[in-house]
Structures are given as C-alpha cells and as structure tokens.
Structure 1
Amino acid sequence: MSLVELVYRLSRSFPDSERFGLVSQARRSAVSIPSNIAEGAARRSTAEYLRFLSIARGSLSELDTQIQIATRLGYIEGSSEFEQCTNVLFARITALMNALDKGGNSR
C-alpha cells in the first residue's frame, strides 16, 4: 500500500500529456500489486494464491519498468525510496511464494 501511495505522489509531477498514458499505466500497475495479493489470500487453495502472487510480482516488474521510463524521459528524478520499496517488496513476495510452494498445493 505504501508503494501505491508513493507512485501516486511521484506521478503527480508527470506532464498532463501523460495523464492517460504513463500516469494511468503506472498507477494501475501499482494498485494491481496489493489487489492481487489480497485476492490470492482469499482463494481456497495454495496453488491459486501462488498464481495471484505471481501476477502481483509481474505487476511490480511492470511498474519498475514504467518508473524507469519516466526517469529516462525526465518526468522524475531517480527515486531511491521507490527503488528500496520495490526491492523489498519483490523479495517479500518471492519469499512468500517460496514458503507456500514448500508447503504443498493445498491450504
């Protein structure tokens, strides 16, 4: 959720011409991460949870790419807070996936 807030703050400074482009895409990717984690946690099987965690991790990678593009285009300066947050979140999602995967395919 903190990453979503950060992305919304960072994307406020993007040019108006990106409102329906990079701003919208980055915000959707950011919101997708906790949404998929929550949806997966509510599922009835570990296999489904793992699938939603994988989708969340994919959205995180998408978001990282979108922020890199915004940085290259000069819309934002490199954000160490963003980098730190994404690195920690990627590691946590991966650790959770590994722990669930070791536990078998049913909850």
Structure 2
Amino acid sequence: MTDYKNYKVWQKSHSLVLEIYQVSKHFPSEEKFNLISQIDRAALSIPTNIAEGCGRQSQKEFHHFLHISSGSAFEMEYLIEVSRDLKFIDNNTSESLLSDISEIKKMFFSLIQKVKTEIKKA
C-alpha cells in the first residue's frame, strides 16, 4: 500500500486537525466533555482512518476506510456550523474551516472514485 502521508487529502486533513485543536482550546471550559471532545475526535478521525486504511491488505478495505474518513469530514462540517452558531468561533474562522472541509470532501470524492475504479479492474 501507499504511505498515507503521500495522499494530499491526508496532508490537508492533518493540517485541519492542527487548526481545529488551536480553535477548540478557546471554547468554553464547560464544553470540554461535549463539543470540544466531539470536534477534536471528528477532526482526528479524518486522517486517522486514511492511515489505517493504508495499513490494510486490500484496496477494498482502503476504500471502506476512505468512506469512514469522508463521513467524518461531513460530521466536522456540522460541528463547525454549530460552533459558529453558538458563538464559540467567529464567522471568519468558520468560513475558513468550512472552505478547508469542502476541499477535503471533494478530494475524498475523487480518491474514492479512483480506488473504486481500481477495485473493479482487479
């Protein structure tokens, strides 16, 4: 399998994790076991599942983990929106993060289609 660090979607999602951790540390402390925990876990899930999928034995398994990662990107999108609506993050920050997430979602779509095609050829 390919080294997960070579995937641009992993690189972009790793950067997103670093951004999210910087943003979520400014959330109210009473959200530590609620929204902070949820948003940090969802962000981590994106690149983590790419890495795990790369460690699997088949493209079919990799494909499955890409879908999990993609689902986490959709989850992140909502968590950013609710964080903005709760006024935990400002509009500029939320727009920047949502733009990054949108790009990641598009990258997943393309990569999932590519892997799906490779599976069909095999």
TM-score (norm 1): 0.93
Paired positions, count: 107
Gaps of 5+ in 2: 1-13
Q: CA deviation at 1:16?
A: 0.7
> Which of 50, 61, 65 does residue 37 from structure 1 map onto?
50
Kept after mapping to 2: 8 A contact 1:36/1:56:
yes
**TM-score normalised by the chain length of structure 2:** 0.82
Does the alignment pair 1:85 with 2:100?
yes
What CA distance in whole angstroms lies between the structure 2 residues aligned with 1:43 and 1:4? 23
2:60 maps to 1:52: no
Superposition deviation, residue 33 in structure 1? 0.5
Q: Which residue of 1 aligns with 2:119?
A: 104
Match of 2:82 in 1: 69
Q: Give the counterpart of 1:22 among 11, 35, 56.
A: 35
Q: Could you list the runs of 5+ residues in structure 1 that have no partner in the other structure?
A: none
Where is the helix percentage greater, Structure 1 or Structure 2? 2
Distance in 1 of aligned mates of 2:78 and 2:65:
20
CA distance in 1, matches of 2:121, 2:17: 30
Answering whether residue 26 of structure 2 is matched by residue 13 of structure 1, we say yes
| Distance in structure 2 (CA, Å) of the matches to 1:95 and 1:58 | 14
Q: Deviations over 1:59-105 (max 9, x none)?
A: 11111111111111111112222022101111111111000101125
